[in-house]
Structure 1
Amino acid sequence: MLTSTICAAASAAGLGIAALTAYRKRFLAATRIAAFSLVPIGLVLTGIVDWLTDVVFKPSVWAGFGVLALSALLFMVSRVAERRRTGGGRKEPKAAEAAARRDAMAPGASAPSLGPGRAASRPQGKAKKSSDGEDFSDIEAILKKHGI
């Protein structure tokens, strides 16, 4: 009953402000204010306000929220304990994925190295054959792997 009175008063005050705004020839703003001021009385008439006050002020509802929070906490603790026991459950697929990537490389390819010179930073179109005898087999293997 008290919440209905408060919502009715808020709606009446909002409609008064909307009337003053319309008097000042700001009709668009007055329409918006009137729309917002009708929301509280609409909530009272639909019964949502009574339902919300029942939810907020009933101890049994808060006990239910407490039980749900305890349930969520127990679930998270069990997940953490499971991960610690198995050694991190989700790391195993990542290790298998990394092994598959290693197998996908060309057989003759080695890890790229940054040797003397700046051959690694040169664009491919401008690469010259070196008379120093540099080995570009790893680069050729990578290019072949990508079909270039």
Structure 2
Amino acid sequence: MIAETVCSAVAAAGLGIAAVTAFRRRFRTAARIAAYALVPLGLVMTGVVQWAADTAFSPVAWAGFGVLGGAWLLLTATRAVERRRDRKGRAAGAAAPREAVAPQTSAPSLGQASRAAGTPRAQPQAAPRADAADDFSDIEAILKKHGI
């Protein structure tokens, strides 16, 4: 009840300030002040202030915030440990390359040629690169079209 009264008083005071500002012929500033002054009134009318007051004084809500914070800390800690293990694994992996755990399980999907010969797949060839002048010819045409 007190929160609603305070928000309503703030809205009334803001609208008064907006009226004085409009009287001084600063209409844009007055409109902006009026918009800010109507926000607390709108929050009271929608019930957000009552919900926030009920949440602020509820021990169950604060316990819920504590549980959410603990979950966030747990996720952050596990991510930090995972990153640390990845760094150590990369440093050890650079010295000695690891073999596949079960190479036979992926062998059927590779095909007969890759399995028998062990040759790497042929890379697709890149298209030949055009000259730098050809790259900008369409841009030059657009600029000429617009008279630039």
What TM-score, normalized to structure 1?
0.54
Partner of 1:2: 2
Q: 1:17 to 1:54 in 2, by over 3 A?
A: same
Partner of 2:119: none
Alpha-carbon deviation of 1:75? 3.6
The aligned residue for residue 85 of structure 2 is: 88
Q: Which residue of 2 aligns with 1:12?
A: 12
Name the counterpart of 1:49. 49
Greater displacement, 8-17 / 46-55: 46-55
Give the number of aligned pairs.
97
Distance 1:54 1:94 in 2: 53
Query: Relative to 1, partners in 2 of residues 1:87 and 1:23: Cα closer, same or farther, differing over 3 Å?
Result: closer
The 10-residue stretch of structure 1 (71-80 or 20-29) with the greater mean CA deviation from structure 2: 71-80
2:86 counterpart letter in structure 1: G
The one-letter amino acid paired with 1:88 is R
How many percent identity over aligned positions?
A: 52
Q: Which moved more, 1:87-96 or 1:3-12?
A: 87-96
Tell me how far apart the structure 2 counterparts of residues 4 and 10 of structure 1 sit (CA, whole Å). 10
**Cα drift, residue 90 of structure 1:** 4.7
SS in structure 1 of the partner of residue 7 of structure 2: helix
Unaligned runs of 5+ in 1: 100-148
Q: List aligned pairs for 1:25-44, cutoff 5 A.
A: 25-44=25-44
Following superposition, the deviation at residue 19 of structure 1 comes to 0.6
Amino acid at match of 1:6: V
Q: Whole-Å Cα distance in 2 between the matches of residues 49 and 74 of structure 1?
A: 32
The separation in 2 between residues aligned to 1:79 and 1:94, in whole angstroms, is 19
Larger radius of gyration: 1
CA-based RMSD: 3.0
**What's the counterpart of residue 67 of structure 1?**
67
Correspondence list, 1:91-130, <5 A: 92=89
Q: Judging changes above 3 Å, is the alpha-carbon distance between structure 1 residues 87 and 70 closer, same or farther for their aligned structure 2 residues? A: closer
* Alignment CA distance shift 1:76-1:32 (3 Å): closer
Does the C-alpha gap of structure 1 residues 94 and 25 become closer, same or farther in structure 2, counting only changes over 3 Å?
Answer: farther
Q: How does the TM-score come out when normalised to structure 2?
A: 0.54
Q: Which residue identity lines up with residue 85 of structure 2 in the other structure? A: G
Can you list the C-alpha shifts for 1:40-59, whole angstroms capped at 9, x where unaligned? 00000001111111111111
